[in-house]
Amino acid sequence: MTKRIHENLSRQYKALKVLQSLQLEEFSHLMGFRAQSVHVVELSIKDLMGQISGERSDMRLMLKSLNPAASALSDIAEIFGQGWEQVRDLLENIDNLDKDCAKLAEKSHILAQSLYDLSSGYVNHFKQKLSPCKQTYGRGGVFSRSRSTPAMLRGTL
């Protein structure tokens, strides 16, 4: 059972390393304004997060099967014997990677939100500039009714 736990932790560590590299790639795509590339990377991140979640669920099941009262691996450290130091180091590395990934996700979220705010500001500005004034002349040389929004932005002419 200790071998299975160690293998599970190893898979989690490797998955978090891949997640970290995907998040760095996502951030670089955001910086380069490549929305389509960001979408593809986000789908990969979502799938990987699901796999990591599955690994963590399996770990909880293994932990409960060994000791129903245990809530952390440190509660069953005696089972590992001399190998506990290696498991503890792996747990520390996983925790550090998890924190780094959370920071990268926050960084990407802030950048994506800023880009969204910027682009919606541009759209609102153009919409305001393209909207006709209240009184405009029509074809017959008389004032015509104006639309509330520009036809080009609504997709109707």
Total-model pTM = 0.76
Tokens (6 digits) for 8: 């599970």
- The CA distance from 117 to 10, in Å, is 40
Identify the pLDDT of residue 94. 96
Question: According to the model, what pLDDT value does residue 149 have?
Answer: 58
Place of tokens 């990591």: 52
Question: Does 153 have pLDDT greater than 60?
Answer: no
Which sequence spans correspond to the domains of the chain? 2-131
* β-bridge mates for residue 144, sequence order: 136
Strands of the chain, DSSP E? 136-137, 143-144
Rounded to whole angstroms, the Cα distance separating 29 from 109 reads 13
User: Cα separation of 35 and 147, whole Å?
Assistant: 32
Q: What is the mean pLDDT of the chain?
A: 87
Confidence band of 45 (pLDDT split at 50, 70, 90): very high
Looking up tokens 């500001």, which residue turns up? 121
The whole-number pLDDT of residue 144 equals 62
| pLDDT for res 118 | 86
Q: Give the mean pLDDT of 29-43.
A: 91
Q: What separation, in Å, do the N-terminal and C-terminal C-alpha atoms of the chain show?
A: 69
pLDDT for residue 120: 85
Place of tokens 């926050």: 106
| Residue 121 pLDDT | 84
* pLDDT of 157 above 60: no
Q: C-alpha distances in angstroms, 66 versus 3, 28, 76, 151?
A: 13, 43, 8, 67
Which pLDDT belongs to residue 110? 95
Name the architecture of domain 2-131. Answer: Up-down Bundle (1.20)
